[in-house]
Amino acid sequence: MNMPILWRTTTPDSMRVKTLSALGFVLAFLNLSAAIECHAQTYPSKAIRLVVPFTPGGSTDILARSIGQELTQAWGQAVVLDNVAGAGGSIGADRVAKSAPDGYTLLMGHIGTLAVTPSLYPNLPYDPIKSFTPVAWVAKVPNVLAVFPGVAVKSTKELIDLARAKPNVLNFGSGGNGSAAHLAMEYFKLQAQISMVHVPYRGTIPAVTDLVAGQVQVIFTGAPALNAFIKSGQLRALAVSSKVRLPSLPELPTVAESGIKALEQFEADQWYGIVAPAGTPAAIVNKLNAQINEALRSGEIKKRFENEGAIAAPNTPEVFGQLIVSEIERWRPVVQGAKIKPD
């Protein structure tokens, strides 16, 4: 009688180990994914720290407070602002970059900390692209070119004519070497082919305070820090850096409208946005982005921003990330051409 042939396979021990290891990896991944999802659902369960890398009172601080208030009201958890100034904003930015990527430490970044500093600091302790996860593009803030009323000019053209007639006589203030206000003015000087003396301050507010007092004659900085003084007559606004006029100052022409051919395409707006440490879970980033965008689309915050000279810019984290990359490349030749060095 012929017996059937039975095939018997034996799994080698090494294969069993690999199979169990792979299974363990899959289970660990699923457990981690479930933990992250659970964390995102309960987020935020405690106060959020929003680092502002500049002194209180400037545009970054003003916009951060508005967003912080909106998030606090929406989630019932405090958003605590932490002003960590110094080194053009890089001290505060570095502190956030080295924080836990759990969504509880965020940075109100802006054009300086995220786009200009790579060209200013060869040994920057963080990488604007690799060290952060983009969360939300908050606002665009056109710069306003303003003068102390004692300066006998009433237009951009008159200012340029005066600066050409008296090179290096006018002083302009900024929030520090390499600050957004400094970059805007250096770009303006390069395009208009004029010379003025830079007076750097430790923050926007000290620079504006000295402008109001007549210690410096010119500034080109974010509208939020200047609006109140312009409306009270303590400063004279000449132009705005954006392509279109500001709703809060509709009578103020753009630099491009100055009638000077070299400035016909001029644009030098500041921008602001929130980033988190690299590695922050996508679920938390998306939750933050959705809530911030909801706030930015509300009529109340749009009006609040417009009153401050800012324009809300709700968008995706991906679009904000693309902005950061493109702006790094845009401002590098300005830094190099003006030979700007940090303090």
Least confident of 8-12, 86-90, 291-295, 336-340: 8-12
Q: Which of 175, 237, 165, 171 is nearest to 206 (CA)?
A: 175
Q: Which residue has the tokens 């904000």?
A: 320
pTM of the full predicted structure?
A: 0.77
- In a 13 Å sphere around the CA of 12, the CA atoms on its Cβ side amount to 3
Calculate the average pLDDT of the chain. 89
Give the largest Cα separation in the chain, rounded: 120
- The CATH number assigned to the domain with range 46-141+270-338 reads 3.40.190.150
pLDDT band at 4 (very low <50, low <70, confident <90, very high): very low
Token reading at 47: 């106060």
pLDDT band at 86 (very low <50, low <70, confident <90, very high): confident
pLDDT of residue 22: 61
* DSSP-assigned beta bridge partners for residue 82: 51
Average pLDDT of span 72-81: 97
- Find out whether 225 and 305 touch, Cβ atoms under 8 Å: no
Question: Is a pLDDT exceeding 80 seen at residue 135?
Answer: yes
Question: Is a pLDDT exceeding 90 seen at residue 248?
Answer: no
Phi and psi based region of residue 263 (left: phi greater than 0; alpha: psi -120 to 50; beta: remaining): alpha
Class of the CATH domain delimited by 143-263 = alpha beta
Cα separation of 236 and 226, whole Å? 10
pLDDT band at 94 (very low <50, low <70, confident <90, very high): very high
- Find out whether 314 and 296 touch, Cβ atoms under 8 Å: yes
Q: What residues does each domain of the chain span?
A: 46-141+270-338, 143-263
Question: Is a pLDDT exceeding 60 seen at residue 6?
Answer: no
Percent of the chain with pLDDT over 70: 88
Token reading at 178: 């390499």
pLDDT of residue 1: 47
Reported as a single tens digit per residue, the pLDDT across 280-324 is: 999 999 999 999 999 999 999 988 888 777 899 999 999 999 999
| Residue 47 DSSP class | -
Reported as a single tens digit per residue, the pLDDT across 191-223 is: 999 999 999 998 889 999 999 999 999 999 988
Reported as a single tens digit per residue, the pLDDT across 38-65 is: 567 899 999 999 999 988 887 789 899 9
pLDDT band at 21 (very low <50, low <70, confident <90, very high): low
